[in-house]
């Protein structure tokens, strides 16, 4: 007689890397570069091989973190970030697998045994510790530059609006005149 557990862990492949999903997060949605269970804050894995994804995710998580630490988890370099969103605490681990960086986000305040076990079964990292750190530092610097540029753009737009208010009456009168003029000719 064969017994199959009701909630067996699922295996998912993201960008060529096999992940053994902990039981409580099995049954999520798998795409080419991600796996999401319920919501991005409940559990997700995201491949960050695109510089834009790394910049946006790491930059936002790092700048909004409650705490963060650089560590190793089961032989993998890792940056562990603790955050809160809408009163919900969650943890995000950034770790290299092979030559890629992955984000593993879950609804907990620490890296629990299930997450550690999942990371332990991942292929070894081929990027060096220095390359991993440099990638994250570049992403953070680029994120801060992007935020600064966006803030400057918004401030410039606001100053332009203050210096050049739109006279709606003139705008509508001009358009009405222009339309009337074209009807005559």
pLDDT at 138 over 90: yes
How many Cα neighbours within 13 Å face the side chain of 87?
0
pLDDT at 175 over 60: no
**What does the pLDDT look like over 94-120, one tens digit per residue?**
999 999 999 999 999 899 999 999 999
Domain boundaries, the chain: 11-144
Higher pLDDT, 88 or 178: 88
The domain defined by 11-144 folds into Protein Transport Mog1p; Chain A (3.40.1000)
pLDDT at 4 over 90: no
Mean pLDDT of the 4-8 span = 36
Q: Burial letters for 162-177: b for 16+ Cβ neighbours within 10 Å, e otherwise?
A: eeeeeeeeeeeeeeee
**What does the pLDDT look like over 143-160, one tens digit per residue?**
999 998 887 767 667 766
């Amino acid at each position: 007689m064969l017994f199959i557990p009701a909630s067996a862990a699922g295996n998912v492949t993201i960008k060529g890397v096999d992940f053994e999903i902990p039981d409580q997060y099995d049954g999520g949605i798998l795409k080419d570069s991600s796996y999401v269970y319920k919501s991005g804050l409940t559990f997700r894995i995201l491949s960050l091989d695109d510089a834009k994804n790394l910049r946006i995710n790491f930059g936002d998580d790092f700048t909004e973190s409650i705490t963060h630490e650089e560590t190793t988890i089961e032989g993998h370099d890792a940056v562990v970030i603790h955050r809160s969103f809408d009163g919900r605490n969650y943890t995000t681990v950034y770790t290299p697998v092979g030559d890629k960086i992955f984000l593993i986000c879950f609804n907990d305040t620490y890296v629990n045994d299930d997450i550690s076990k999942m990371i332990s079964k991942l292929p070894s990292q081929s990027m060096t510790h220095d390359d991993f750190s440099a990638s994250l530092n570049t992403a953070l610097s680029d994120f801060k530059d992007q935020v600064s540029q966006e803030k400057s753009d918004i401030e410039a737009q606001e100053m332009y609006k203050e210096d050049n208010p739109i006279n709606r009456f003139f705008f509508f009168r001009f358009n009405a005149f222009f339309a009337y003029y074209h009807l005559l000719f």
